[in-house]
Amino acid sequence: MELDFIPNIRLRSTFYHVPGHKTDLHVLTSPTPPFPGGDTLSATNAFQWEQTLQSDAYFGRLPVVLVHGMVVASSYMHDLGRQLAPWFRVFIPDLPGFGRSSKALRKGDGVSINQLAQGLHDWMDAAGVQTAHFVSNSLGCQILAEFTRRWPERVGRLVLQGPTMDTSRQPLSKTLLAMAANGKNEPLSMNFIIVRDYWRAGLRRAFTLIRETTEYRTMDVLSKLEKPTLLLSCELDPITPCSWVAELSDNMPNAVHYVLKKAPHTANYSATEKMTRIVLRYLLVQDHDGIRRAGREILDQVMQINQTRDTAAKQKSKLLWQQLALGLSAVLSIWKDFVGRWAFITGLILIESTILYKYYKIRPLLSFNRSDYLDRVYTNLHGIADFDSASSMLRLLSCLRDAAYSAVGASEASSDILTTFEAEDATRSVVTQFLAHRKYPAVTIRSTNGALTHLYAATGILWLPQTLLMLVKRPEHAAIKQGQLDITAEMEWGRRTGQTLLERNPEIELYHMADPNQD
């Protein structure tokens, strides 16, 4: 499932009247697609039929409700909602007392997780949303835990990214220090959003909510929830470490854990594309085992990286103290004239060289870019492309890019297609990509490329390719004459090779294409 993550969609502000609140609640909502109206459609209008199929699939899915974290409101979840909008109806409410719903409560009113869960429930009643999938960040995970505990029938699937810890697991002081440390991993624009939303909510309400967060027993509640849940931890998140989220996953009866590499605490804002891909995979494809396997492999490697990074950080701290001690010794030696000038300079250089050498050795271990090699694990999730590697390929010079394409194409081709290809195996490999127990709005047989394949993936239509591309290596001497490609010889070689293939697989039709660059 190849996905376009630059949708031309902007969420719009909507205000809902919710009984019991001073003002209407602000919600970011996805626009309604321009589906055709009326009950009768022309059978000759293929595009209109496709729009109708898309409409049925779009509105046949549960909507997705995004629940914001502590104090910061819907604006920092806008990009995530925008990228989910082509596949789901999306709602991002500002919970009562926060964001543009800050005046829904009286200025002196406090807030609690129970009150916020109740506010979410009341808004769903007012908006007519009976059941939904939920995606949350940070404190929003605790709100959803309480919401699911009280109203499990309103919940489809849960995606909890960065669920915060209570004081039984981590003291409040350590949590505050972790929040400060996480700031350097977040984009600068995120800090402006935090300042603005804290100003809207007021410091009193913010501090009340921080205390509520650390007192809520997240583990106790989540361990009793039966709803399918995707737990997301982030490699660069000091607030909710990967080990904590892994422990949550082990104690939940129906949870899957996945690690977002090189992402901080607010991955929905700072690593939006990575989070969108795994969320869509969980909600649309529902490949729990594939996500679990890849998540476990990434977790093991990230834990090892973090352990060596922590050890290197302690060594760095010791080296800084040694550097300070060396500086003080130099000042005292010059002041008191303890040793001769040349002896002093020689000793200083030797010690300083030793310190710099030790720092040079541990410097790679301190880097936050050490998980690049995890791309292989990331792309093992079928349907999730590694766009970081793809974009780096596009930045190459044209000559290098062409050479890279040719090398990649050659590596994908088979030199023994005649004896290894079986039509039945190829057919089985295609149909196994689709879940047997799942209902599909339609089945289509089309070409293996083009814009419609994206439409089918987005609307949940079962798509079967009418052709399969087989890459075959040919001997260089078979078609190269005087250093140039001879198309006639190329086609003749393909005809002879194809004849043998057809004899082994008489039920297929074969079309031969000579493509020097393959890509």
Q: Which residue type does 303 have?
A: M
pLDDT over 50 (residue 25):
yes
Q: Are 384 and 281 in contact (CB under 8 A)?
A: yes
Question: Taking residues 366-388, what's their average pLDDT?
Answer: 46
Nearest one of 69, 32, 427 to 239, comparing CA atoms: 69
Residue 426: Cβ within 10 Å count: 13
Distance of CA 356 to the CA centre of its chain: 38
**pLDDT bucket at 414, cuts 50 / 70 / 90:** low
Helix 113-127, helix 139-150: angle, nearest 10: 70
Q: What pLDDT shows up at residue 436?
A: 64
Token digits of residue 403: 């050479």
* Phi then psi dihedrals of residue 391, to 5 deg: -65, -35
Question: By mean pLDDT, which of 27-31, 91-95, 107-111, 492-496 is the weakest?
Answer: 107-111
Residue with more model confidence, 245 or 168: 245
Stretch 184-199: mean pLDDT: 86
pLDDT in tens, 441-453: 888 887 666 667 7
Any residues with CB less than 8 A from the CB of 352 and at least 6 apart, and which?
Answer: 326
CATH topology of domain 12-34+44-286: Rossmann fold (3.40.50)
CA distance linking residue 268 with residue 161, whole number of Å: 8
pLDDT digits (tens, 9 = 90+) for 404-413: 666 666 666 6
Mean pLDDT of the chain: 77
When comparing pLDDT for 146 and 207, which is higher?
146
Quote the CA–CA distance of 163 and 237 in Å, as a whole number. Answer: 11
- pLDDT at residue 390 above 50? no
- pLDDT at residue 437 in the model: 63
Residue spans per domain, the chain? 12-34+44-286, 307-375, 397-504
More confident residue, 83 or 66: 66
Greater model confidence, 508 or 38: 508
Tell me the C-alpha distance between 33 and 79, whole Å: 18
The predicted pLDDT at position 502 comes to: 82
Least confident of 400-404, 438-442, 479-483: 400-404
pLDDT at 419: 63
Structure confidence at residue 343 (pLDDT) = 67
Provide the percentage of residues in the chain whose pLDDT is more than 70: 73
> Taking 60 as the threshold, does the pLDDT of residue 388 lie above it?
no
Of 74, 260, 268, 278, which is closest to residue 157 (Cα–Cα)? Answer: 278
Torsion angles phi and psi, residue 142, rounded to 5: -70, -35
